[in-house]
Structure 1
Amino acid sequence: MDASSIPGREEQVLAGLDALEDWELQFAYVLSFVGKAHELPEELRDDTHRVRGCVSRAWVELAVDEGGTFAMRSAAEPLIVRGLLGLIGHLVDGQPARDVACWKPRLLEDDNVGGLLTAERNTGVHAVLVAVHDCAKQACVICE
């Protein structure tokens, strides 16, 4: 599996979490993605960009440029949500929109990720993953 592909990056993240047996270390690992996120400017933290279904205040901007490259910027108040958004951004930002549209996320199925999330946060992360998929799908030919 290509380590720079979305499934390859996701596999690296899940393996990294799996290698950490302590939930505090797993939490810290997710937080390490905060610095990798492309920050959404304050002026775009509005209702248009608000993550629906997330109990925390979180915003995402999703776009596909003329060359078909997917882009994600995000912001959130809670640190763990910023880490989760950064993690998702790490997987999809800069990837071809077609690859994003065809991606079948495994993040929420993973016990290590799921163990870090409350039911409400799980709903919010799911909403972001759906929005990412929908944006990419609208920009390209849908996968078979």
Structure 2
Amino acid sequence: MSIAAKQQEVLDELALFQDWQERYEYVISLGKRLAEMDDSLKTEDRLIKGCQSQVWLEANVDGDTIHYQADSDSVITKGMIALFIRVLDGEPIDDILTADLSFIDKTGLKEHLAPTRANALNLMATQIKQRALEFSKR
């Protein structure tokens, strides 16, 4: 499934919920389903700087695909990073670099978050692409 198709799938799922409370509960549940990140990976160099909560992002390359892991000390933030991982994990480096991550704006989540949490979504997208860029230069 393409990145765009995965993004649309996320948007379609969120559209099923009647109100924002249900949508946030769904996003939180996505975070709870993320694979456990080993504590040894929760280091300063993996922190996404500028987020109100602590968010760790790990990326590994396998051939030309990237696999992401993440964790956060906040359930809503962990759910938000889970959205990105769901869409981008296991995708080719070049596809991640050219992906339009503005799908997150279409979720409507930003309008219902505090400004610092909304900014965290942009920081997450930037860091995910930055890790892909680092791998592309190897």
Q: TM-score normalized by structure 1?
A: 0.85
Moved >4 Å (runs of 4+): none
| 1:54-133 correspondence runs (5 A) | 54-65=51-62, 67-110=63-106, 112-133=108-129
**Partner SS for 1:32:** helix
Which of these residues, 106, 130, 135, is aligned with residue 134 of structure 1?
Answer: 130
Amino acid at match of 1:38: A
Aligned ranges for residues 34-49 of structure 1 at < 5 Å? 34-49=31-46
Distance 1:79 1:62 in 2: 21
Aligned partners of 1:51, 1:139: CA distance in 2, in Å?
18
Question: Which residue identity lines up with residue 51 of structure 2 in the other structure?
Answer: C
Q: Where do 5+ consecutive residues of structure 1 fail to align?
A: none
Task: Calculate percent identity across the aligned residue pairs.
Answer: 23
For structure 2, list consecutive stretches of 5 or more residues without a partner in the other structure.
Answer: none
How many residues are aligned here? 137
Q: CA deviation at 1:111?
A: 5.3
Distance 1:125 1:63 in 2: 21
User: Which is richer in helix?
Assistant: 2
